[in-house]
Amino acid sequence: MPHVLQHNGYLVSDDPAWIDGNAVHAFLASSYWAQGIPRETVERSLKNSLCFGAYTGAREQVGLARVISDYATFAWLADVYVLEAHRGHGLSKALMRAVVSHPRLQGLRRFQLCTRDAHGLYTQFGFTPPAEPATHMEKRDPEIYKRLER
């Protein structure tokens, strides 16, 4: 059963049938964190994640938050955005409320994310810098989308 919240005339839902892959790709392909991402990569990421869309009353998608998880111990929050024309209405907070209250995301030992500029939003929902940053490692390939066929 979909998890749906109402907020100031907008809807936030985890119903995968509502996700507009074209809208998500259009935003992500020009974002600082996924610039140039191929459409097929976006489709795979949406299919294999728990996605929360933010929608107007007419169900036009205007935002997203995507969670990758085993639903038992760990989750990663990614691709959180609200279109500029719809910012200032509390939609990013509504997306985050939907994420942190979702029944499948309760009791996790670790919930992580990366952000360049939205620390203030995430701290409101309990996120902090890593307690032990020296224990975290990553394997990055920031040029991957430039090498993939389009």
Q: What is the pLDDT of residues 4-24, one digit of tens each?
A: 888 899 999 999 999 999 999
The CA-based dihedral angle spanning residues 98, 116, 87, 111, taken in that order and rounded to the nearest 10 degrees: 0
Q: What is the pLDDT of residues 48-101, one digit of tens each?
A: 999 999 999 889 999 999 999 999 999 999 999 999 999 999 999 999 999 999
- What pLDDT score was predicted for residue 33? 94
pTM as predicted: 0.93
Alpha helices in the chain (DSSP H): 21-28, 39-47, 91-101, 119-123, 144-147
The whole-number pLDDT of residue 96 equals 97
Instruction: Quote the CA–CA distance of 94 and 11 in Å, as a whole number.
Output: 9
Q: Kindly list the structural domains of the chain, giving each domain's residue range(s) and its CATH number in brackets, ordered by start.
A: 4-147 (3.40.630.30)
